[in-house]
Amino acid sequence: MSSVMPELRLLPVGAAFHTVVSAMHQRCFDDGWTVYTVGQVMRMAGAFGYVAVLRGDENRARTILGKDDDEETPVGFALACGTGDEWELLSIGVLRDHRRLGTAKRLMRAVIDGAIERGADRLFLEVAEDNDSARALYDAFGFVQIGRRAGYYKRLDGPAVTAITMRLDLDGRRGLLPPGLVPPEMP
């Protein structure tokens, strides 16, 4: 892959994307979510999310996960939910072949902005202690560690891993980006 940022669109997660999000979640995580789980998550109070797709036809992008045509490929997702002033990033993932190109940063920025638009003062998340790249992303956005959950993430090839719980205070953050980031194109 080129190190040039691909042209992405961030599309809102609706029912038509549950299968795509599930397939990507299963490719990104040992405990990947089923279509049913994605549907249940998206029915939670205030749930919203985005699918990052490389530029192409939106309707075709919904059905081609795994196809070699990079012009219309869904490459990442982010799901969040919450009510009132507290929101949570439930899951974020980018397919392995499309990592380190800024997709996760764009998804994270969209979730932060989406939470702020919905009235959030704080955004929470959990991350596996051994997921250095995700932790670096969250640190870059200003998340701080607030707790730990031993043995939270199950692994197929080893012992369970501790979850680090993190919080981002959103007061005054509307439109702010970490240095060097470009805002996402919103749908």
d(C-alpha 162, C-alpha 80), whole Å: 21
Residues sharing a CB contact under 8 Å with residue 102, sequence separation 6 or more, in sequence order: 5, 181, 182
Tell me what percent of the chain is helix, strand and coil, each rounded to the nearest 5.
Answer: 30, 35, 35
Q: What is the DSSP string of 102-127?
A: SHHHHHHHHHHHHHHHTT-SEEEEEE
Report residue 150 as tokens. Answer: 């031993």
Enzyme catalytic residues: 126, 138
